[in-house]
Amino acid sequence: MKTYKKHSLAHAIAFAGALSIVAMPTYADTILGIYAGAGAWNTDVDGDINDDSNISTDQLGLDSSTNSFLYVALEHPVPFLPNVRLGVTDLAIDGSSIVNEPFTFQGETYDSNVSTRSEIDLSHTDLTFYYEILDNWVTLDLGFTARSFDGFASVSGNVDGGDDITGSIDLDGTIPMVYGKAQLDLPFTGWHVAGTLNYIGYSDSKISDFEGKVGYQSNGLVFDVGVDIGYRTMNLDLQESGDLNADVSVGGPFAAITVHF
């Protein structure tokens, strides 16, 4: 059975700190801007995995977990050339349960009252290209994201006292998504509110990823340090998508340390 490995929050914070060490005293908004952040996202999962039979994440005992994320973005004044943002999210949830009804998953049949161990890993890397449509107290960014999933879903259980059986499926591949971000800076305070959306819809399937946040950023001589607190939710509605149909939502609060120089 596959296992997953998370980046620790300490590693993520160290990543942001390392970026601040190489900061150059440039004026970010007119010459070159580098934005980076790292934090933790506390996630709950809810929904159905509709394989050969309907089985919910609650029945499988998938519980909440704390996952890490980090990002770095480069903004520049070169006309027609998009800004670039790279983000990495570790998103893995596991759990155990006794399912009181028979079900099948990825070709394996599980009897009623079987003890199961389940994992779902939706870890992904985002490469985003975007343009600043507005850049003042109100900021508006539009572009697209190439999201690369590198995960899996698996269910293991012991049937009739025999060996464990495991049904699993790889959840990997790259998809294009529309990207948009809007931010309102509260003048002369250092505070801001923002919302970000990645979305794709095709046939009867759709994937959306939205976060809303409130943040504060200091005004340093060389670089700015801040914090963000918000809520992020990712919804996957996959209908007749390869070997897996699913309608799953993952969401929860997050907090991050940010730097800007």
3-state secondary structure the chain: CCCCCCCCHHHHHHHHHHHHHCCCCCCCCCCCEEEEEEEEEEEEEEEEEECCCEEECCCCCECCEEEEEEEEEEECCCCCCCEEEEEEECCEEEEEEEECCCEEECCEEECCCEEEEEEEECCEEEEEEEEEEEECCEEEEEEEEEEEEEEEEEEEEECCCCCEEEEEEEEEEEEEEEEEEEEEECCCCCEEEEEEEEEEEECCEEEEEEEEEEEEECCCCCCEEEEEEEEEEEEEEEEEECCEEEEEEEEEEEEEEEEEC
| Pairwise CA distance, residues 237 & 245, whole Å | 8
pLDDT in tens, 139-186: 999 999 999 999 999 999 877 666 789 989 888 899 999 999 999 999
pLDDT in tens, 87-96: 999 999 999 9
Count of positions (residues) in the chain: 261
Domains of the chain by range and CATH? 9-260 (2.40.128)
Confidence of residue 107 (pLDDT cuts 50, 70, 90): confident
What pTM does this model have?
A: 0.84
**Over residues 21-33, mean pLDDT:** 48
Nearest alpha-carbon partner for 130 in 68, 87, 185: 87
